[in-house]
Copies of this chain bind each other. A is one copy, B any other.
Amino acid sequence: MNYQQILEQVSREAASLAGSGQVASYIPELAKVPPGRFGMALVTLDGKVFFTGDAAERFSVQSISKVFLLALAIRLVGEKLFERVGKEPSGNPFNSLVQLEYEHGIPRNPFINAGALVMTDVLLEHLPDAKAAVLDFARLLSGSPDVDYDHAVAASERATGFTNIALANFLKAHGNLHHPVEHVVDAYFHHCSLSMSCLELAHSFLFLANHGILPQSTNQPTRLLSVSQTKRLNAVMLTCGFYDEAGEFAFRVGLPGKSGVGGGIAAIMPGRWAAAVWSPEINHFGNSVRGMKALELLTTLTGESIF
């Protein structure tokens, strides 16, 4: 498969959608990103790397970091995580309080904000430093030791993120947050502020296409998740990874993936490759317009999907 040629074709065709979304503005710092950026990268399990456009430029991964949280939380507590967070698609926006109230403080899945707050609480319970742990994990997965949080973004979200603080307090009221709200949201806002490029994201997701084994680890394979855990994490991405467009993404793209309001999407083709795309203009569901189109074109042109 000539992935390089396909990426370039995808990039050209998706360009027609420029201007059809809006850069996320709810965090002042995010609103500064130039809307026209577009980058895409694909890395294969046999070590090949393809990319186009602004694939090396870092952006705010936002909710994509929830995949790192989920992998870490599963490593720490296994299936017990799902006593505190569900695994069903939500049918509601990512920051909705309605579902939480109806279901008594159990977030519907790990990828809505309330779910990520609970996972952060789990990390705080088992690790000396939840902020450092996620950062170290992202550096390990991406192979980039200088991946870092964007402290301006974290501070911006801290100053305006009243809905997330509301969610955390509501979880606390239901006994589903064991640490002080302040600690949990501070760590959470940092996790969201993680700044990575498409190339780094694609590398970071490759272990999920590799049954849980870190692909770079040639001599002595490093297993991060069991085969079954990896399958399950991928299933959660497919059913819950795109807020209220999970069905749409599965329908059009047909791959497990995760989006962020920074305009990034990472996705995997199990047994073959991982890809990441970035275009900051998002639709009103919070998903990158060109990003979704690019991945749809990728699966159409390659004929590769899980279905």
Which residue of B is nearest A168, CB measured? B166
Q: Give the chain B neighbours of A252 by CB distance below 8 A.
A: 232
The proximity string for A residues 160-200 relative to B, scoring 1 for CB distances below 8 Å and 0 otherwise, is 00110111111011000000010000000000000000000
Question: Are B238 and A307 in contact (CB-based, < 8 A)?
Answer: yes
Question: Are B97 and A248 in contact (CB-based, < 8 A)?
Answer: no
- What is the size, in residues, of chain A's interface with B at 8 Å between Cβ atoms? 54
Which residue of B is nearest A268, CB measured? B307
Which residue of B is nearest A173, CB measured? B162
Question: Are A88 and B170 in contact (CB-based, < 8 A)?
Answer: no
**Is A279 in the interface zone, CB < 8 Å from B?**
no
Q: How far is the CA of A88 from the CA of B250 in the complex (A)?
A: 9
Q: How far is the CB of A85 from chain B (nearest CB, A)?
A: 11
Q: How far is the CB of A71 from chain B (nearest CB, A)?
A: 14
Which of A90, A239, A244 has the most B CB atoms < 10 Å from its CB? A239
**Which of A51-59, A101-109, A123-131 lies at the interface with chain B?**
A101-109
Q: How far is the CB of A159 from chain B (nearest CB, A)?
A: 11
The proximity string for A residues 81-94 relative to B, scoring 1 for CB distances below 8 Å and 0 otherwise, is 00000111111100
Number of identical monomers bound together in the oligomeric complex: 4
Q: How far is the CB of A125 from chain B (nearest CB, A)?
A: 18
**Is A63 in the interface zone, CB < 8 Å from B?**
no
**Is A140 in the interface zone, CB < 8 Å from B?**
no
CB < 8 Å neighbour of A89 from B88, B166, B172, B254:
B88
CB < 8 Å neighbour of A251 from B87, B98, B250:
B87
Q: Which residues of A contact B (CB under 8 A)?
A: 86-92, 96-102, 108-109, 162-163, 165-170, 172-173, 181, 227-228, 230-232, 234-236, 238-240, 244-248, 250-252, 254, 256, 270, 300, 303, 305-307
Q: How far is the CA of A300 from the CA of B254 in the complex (A)?
A: 22
Please list the 5 inter-chain residue pairs (A to B) with the smallest Cβ-Cβ separation, ordered nearest first: A91-B91, A166-B169, A162-B173, A234-B307, A89-B89
Q: Give the chain B neighbours of A246 by CB distance below 8 A.
A: 88-89, 239
Question: Are A231 and B91 in contact (CB-based, < 8 A)?
Answer: no
Q: How far is the CA of A165 from the CA of B165 in the complex (A)?
A: 9
CB < 8 Å neighbour of A248 from B88, B244, B245, B306:
B88
Question: Are B239 and A89 in contact (CB-based, < 8 A)?
Answer: yes
Question: Are B248 and A87 in contact (CB-based, < 8 A)?
Answer: yes
Q: How far is the CA of A88 from the CA of B248 in the complex (A)?
A: 7
Q: How far is the CA of A307 from the CA of B98 in the complex (A)?
A: 31
